[in-house]
Structure 1
Amino acid sequence: MTFSICVREPYTADGDQQYRFGVAVTTRLPGVGVPCPHVNEHGAVATQSVTNPRLGSAGVDYLADGLGVEDALQALLNADDNSSERQLHGVGRTGSFAFSGDDCNGWYGDRAGENYTVAGNLLTGDAVVERTAAAYEDQRVDGATDAEDADPLASRLIDALGAGQAAGGDKREALTVQSAAVTVVDTGAAESPYWNDLRVDASEDPIVDLRETYRLAKAGYEDAIELYDDPDDEDAPATGTD
């Protein structure tokens, strides 16, 4: 299950500590957005290689229960008989964790930076992980009171995937049906905009398609706000279309 990035962006709003958590992932298989990315208000986790989705879902549940990300994810790996085949990484409100089992398929590896982790397997080389990390570092806004002067996290995570793909990406070129996904949770947002949870489940160019899906989702939501104030309001005027 190719490569992914998990991010924590702490910021202050109205005197309160808030966080943006996000995961973006892509692979040369369909439907990566179902088993791999897991995010809630307490952290972001990605599970891949020989994927065990429970490592991700239970991981963020443990974070919600108050465990640190290192303790939570290591405990799950300790209880997994096939941990040597797993890649598991993520961030909590404090700390980060990145693990690549010895039986993952090469090239594989991971990196833990300031407030983010990146991991990948079956890649063309370490440049994929390094370029993904570098692209995120160039655009991160952690510590800011808000992100008004920066692109939303979902957009920046898609850009990070694009940088990793440009560096070579998944080496299995014979597999043409690919997928990508991005999901973000912002503890300081009153509601999560539609563009914070997007997937391209089957495509020959999923990162390009995910970027376009993001653009259309954001534009569509903003148009609905402008025309109807609240696009979720059931009393808004009908347009005559679904």
Structure 2
Amino acid sequence: MDPDNPVVRLCAQGMRAEAAGRPADAERLFHQAWESATDDYEACVAAHYLARHQPTPERTLHWNRECLRRADLVGDERVAAFYPSLYLNTAKAHQDLGEPDEARESFRLAAARIGAVPPGPYADWVRVAIAEGLRTTGAAVPRAADGLLSALLAGFCARGDLKALGLILPAHLADLGTEEDRVRLTTALHMVHAARWLPEDEQRLLGRAVGALAAPA
């Protein structure tokens, strides 16, 4: 986003106010941004931040939908990277309203657009949030290795094996169910398995998980 855009500046000021523990000031700045918007792009940006400060799930969903509507009206590369977050926020609003089917579909739409987000910490955060949503709503296709991975990760946590956790957990948490994700997760498991520092029982379990992931779906 253009930091010199007046609406973007107001939203940035609102975020600073929010971070400083001044929610009323943040909400005022986001409303000011909405009222200052001169086109669909600026309205999309302002609606995104307004959705953060609504008193009810219904109002939150309203502003998330308005944000999506404005993004669709823009329809160019300026908003392409917005969609994963917009669908993610919409999905969470549906969850808060007890609408699992709508939430599931929004999580799927978010996952389908994640490739538009430039690589980096923000993309990683959005991917993990989407993956969690897919799992909690039953939209994720279970992998044969899921039970083995859960047991392994629980063992790593119990032993405080941060090295094994650091190598495997990011790929596991960010798994959207794609072939690329399966390869990433399998590679992480292979690396730990090849190093052979795990206790014998975990090493065997890890080998089984690698085999389960490598098997055709």
Same fold (TM over 0.5): no
Rg: which structure is higher? 2
Answer 1 or 2: higher relative contact order, Cα 8 Å, separation at least 6. Answer: 1
Higher strand share: 1
Normalised by the length of structure 2, the TM-score is: 0.33
